[in-house]
Amino acid sequence: MANQKKLAIIATKGTLDFAYPPLILATTAAALDYEVTIFWTFYGLQVLKKKRNLLISPLGNPAMPMPIPMPVLVQMLPGMESMATIMMKQKMASKGVASIDDLMEMALESDVKMIACQMTVDLFDFKHSELIDGLEYAGAARFFEVAQEADITLFI
């Protein structure tokens, strides 16, 4: 499409909650016929792992709604992060919210272009084989090539 709108997203976060905004916006924009590119950098790379294990932490996250009030000293106990993650995933499933695995699959199906930041891949000693197939590996200059053509650019 000649006049196709374009969306460019930088995704920098790798917790379960912050994996959602880039993927929800990317899949929705693709459904609205945008050409979408996500540039994954720093902790965002965790979302690209084949075996992704995204967690949510109540620690340092006072806005997270909790079923019962929980003092910070309790939040830091071993296992609390896994528990919060399991609870959040159950809550999401019960409310009909898509899983990250599903959203990623839908994004790839709808031709959302994924670029992984090669500098962060090196920094974290990740191997390309640990990350999902079909990624492009590039740096900041490549992002600007995409962003300068984009109608909307988001940093998440």
Identified binder of other proteins from the candidate list 31, 74, 77, 140, rule CB under 8 A:
31
> Which of residues 6, 15, 17, 24 is near other proteins by CB under 8 A?
24
Map the footprint of other proteins across residues 62-91, applying CB under 8 A.
none
- What is the smallest separation between the CB atom of 78 and other proteins, expressed in angstroms? 32
Q: Does 101 bind other proteins (CB under 8 A)?
A: no
Query: Among residues 98, 132, 147, 156, which is the contact residue for other proteins, using CB under 8 A?
Result: 98
Q: What would the x/- binding string for other proteins be over residues 125 to 154, using CB under 8 A?
A: ------------------------------
Please tell me whether residue 27 binds other proteins under the rule CB under 8 A. Answer: yes
The 3-class secondary structure across the chain, one letter per residue, is: CCCCCEEEEEECCCCHHHHHHHHHHHHHHHHCCCEEEEEECHHHHHHHECCCCCCCCCCCCCCCCCCCCCCHHHHCCCCHHHHHHHHHHHHHHHCCCCCHHHHHHHHHHCCCEEEEEHHHHHHCCCCHHHECCCCEEECHHHHHHHHCCCCEEEEC
28: contact with other proteins by CB under 8 A: yes
Q: Say how far apart CA 156 and CA 154 lie, in whole Å.
A: 6
Q: Which chain residues interact with other proteins by CB under 8 A? A: 24, 27-28, 31-33, 95-98, 106
